Amino acid sequence: MPTGPLDGVLVVDLSRVVAGPHATQTLADLGARVIKVEQPGTGDETRGWGPPFAGDDEISTYYLSCNRNKESITLDLKSGEGKATLERLVRRADVLVENFRRGVLDRLGFPVERLHELNERLVVLSITGFGHDGPEGDRPGYDAIMQGEAGIMSVTGPPGTPSKVGLSIADVLAASNGVSGVLAALYERERTGRGTVVRTSLLASVVGAHMFQGTRWTVAKDVPESVGNDHPSIAPYGTFRCADGILQIGVANQNLWHRFAPLVGLDPDDPAYATIPARSARRAQLTEAIEEALAGGTRREWLDRLGEAGVPAGSVRSIDEVYEWEQTRSQGLVIEVDHPRLGPIELPGPPLRFDGAAPREHTAPPLLGEHTEAILAWLDATETEPDDEPDEEER
């Protein structure tokens, strides 16, 4: 039975760490068959990243986060045998994904020209840290480095304290952009019959997500700075303390302000707070007045009051609370897979759903080389030797 809209698409995954594997995991979630090519003995670096590890074999929970629904084959791409097997895979593939540093794939004997000699319909997704050209294109780039280089840290955290986002956000953005490019290239291939190369980078993906923080500089020449949990342009919009914890409240327009102000004992028409610029200019004073009112109720009480008034608000949940939340589970965002060493485990689920499609059965991230023999047997079974001479019809 089809597993998703990309059923029948074969992806050869030469990537490792996060950006590439997250992209191929997304393609696998969408139904593609993903064959993860790994170095014998070590495999993807994230197999050794921890703690935390799980089970007696110390399986990395980091690795488990972005490798579901894949098969693993081990190939030494510096050997003749490994290169030959990769060629066999490329001939059958629809997509190849790699996130080597610039020039590595060429040195292994697989420049883009060679890949397209083997398979002119192949779509190649190439993800780098700083880009594929330019004066610093050769630099390696991990997520944390890019959060600093591409400006995320400068606008995150308490004022004056550049802070990293607690997620691999640069990697995930690059993966998402890469998948978008692959889908577009597959669509284009339906018209042209030829594959193309899709290029993105952690740098491009972060800068592409700057949005209003970018135009503050490019248009207004205003350098954004970190403002903690507040919004740089809107107030009240951020975190506020109540009797038993912290709430997020977002009053993003005048209509919401007129609903919210009376709940905390403020006059919405008071000139001091009547407009968004006025409220932003008196942010500290406004926050103090709001928290004084919120101190009279619990999180649950205030969420109920704010919800009844139609004011966007929410709790600040810990990660464990998110995964136990009924709403999270109702969206298919927690899945169960049967791991060959760990048994049944739960993983974060895919973010996309398709109306009318039954939930797919997911498979656990593979052990290193778990499918090597099966993949080689499949290649043997599906290959046919070309005739030395063309038959009459071919002539």
Q: Which residues are catalytic?
A: 171
Closest CA to 169 of 215, 209, 226, 138: 209
Burial label, 121 (beta-carbon count in 10 A; 0-12, 13-18, 19+): middle
What does the buried/exposed string (b/e) look like for 167-185 if buried means 16 or more CB atoms within 10 Å of the residue's CB? ebbbbbbbbbbbbebbbeb
As a whole number of angstroms, the distance between CA 39 and CA 54 comes to 22
What are the phi and psi torsion angles at 35 (to 5°)? -105, 115
Helix (H) or strand (E) holding 376: helix 372-382
Closest by CA to 94, choosing from 124, 68, 127, 126, is: 124
CA–centroid distance for 194 within its chain = 27
Non-local (6+) Cβ contacts of 160 within 8 A are: 226
Find tokens 């050769």 and name the residue.
Answer: 138
DSSP letters for 182-239: HHHHHHHHHHHS---EEEEEHHHHHHTT-THHHHHHHTT-------TTS-SS-SSEEE
d(CA 246, CA 248) in angstroms, rounded, equals 7
Tokens 């919009």, located at residue: 237
Q: Which amino acid is at 350?
A: P
Q: What is the DSSP letter of 389?
A: S
